[in-house]
């Protein structure tokens, strides 16, 4: 979508005022120029820019040319801006989700690394306990996770305290 002409047309205060006049009713170029303290040629120039941008359309009635507001281009611009805003909002949500996932996953990864660092004899004893249904493997991992998460929080707290 090429909105350059639309934004150029909207950039001038006289053109914006012309659009405000046309939102109430259709007007001839003479009726529009009566509302401004500028030459008729200046109004004609502004109307041609608004027509080129698709913001205004001409309608002939007998010997008169009426100018009307065309909202289709404005609707396209508004849809594009809304989509742009939504993309920005989604990007912010994605960053927040990523940070939350990182805060949840990091202790689990640390726990998994710690599990693999246990001496083989300790892992065998723990696995034997699981096989004997003394303790569930998921509960073991939960305890390990809680242990690592506690140290992770302590580490973060220490870093924050140190930097303050």
60/90 same-domain check: no
**Overall pTM surpassing 0.85 (yes/no):** no
CB 116 within 8 Å of CB 148:
no
Q: What pLDDT does residue 18 have?
A: 92
d(CA 66, CA 83): 34
Q: What pLDDT does residue 59 have?
A: 94
Question: CA-CA distances (angstroms) from residue 2 to 45, 48, 54, 74, 158?
Answer: 21, 18, 11, 12, 53
CB 58 within 8 Å of CB 65:
yes
Q: What pLDDT does residue 70 have?
A: 86
83/37 same-domain check: no
Q: What pLDDT does residue 133 have?
A: 53
- Residue ranges of the chain whose pLDDT lies below 50: 1
Residue after which a domain boundary falls, among 70, 99, 119 = 70
79/159 same-domain check: yes
66/123 same-domain check: no
65/95 same-domain check: no
95/158 same-domain check: yes
Q: What pLDDT does residue 24 have?
A: 85
| Residue 35 lies in domain | 4-70
Residue after which a domain boundary falls, among 70, 97, 114 = 70
83/59 same-domain check: no
The total number of structural domains that make up the chain? 2
Q: Which residue, 80, 81, 49, is CA-closest to 67?
A: 49
63/85 same-domain check: no
């Amino acid at each position: 979508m090429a909105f350059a002409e639309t934004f150029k047309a909207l950039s001038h205060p006289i053109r914006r005022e012309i659009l405000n006049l046309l939102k109430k009713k259709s007007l001839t170029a003479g009726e529009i120029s009566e509302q401004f303290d500028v030459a008729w040629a200046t109004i004609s120039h502004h109307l041609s820019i608004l027509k080129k941008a698709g913001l205004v359309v001409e309608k002939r009635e007998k010997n008169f040319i009426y100018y009307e507001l065309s909202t289709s281009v404005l609707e396209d611009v508004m849809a594009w801006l809304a989509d742009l805003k939504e993309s920005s909002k989604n990007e912010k949500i994605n960053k927040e989700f990523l940070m939350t996932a990182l805060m949840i996953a990091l202790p689990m990864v640390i726990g998994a690394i710690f599990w693999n660092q246990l001496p083989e004899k300790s892992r065998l004893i723990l696995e034997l306990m699981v096989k004997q249904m003394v303790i569930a493997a998921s509960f073991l991992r939960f305890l390990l996770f809680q242990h690592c998460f506690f140290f992770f929080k302590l580490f973060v707290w220490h870093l924050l305290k140190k930097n303050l």
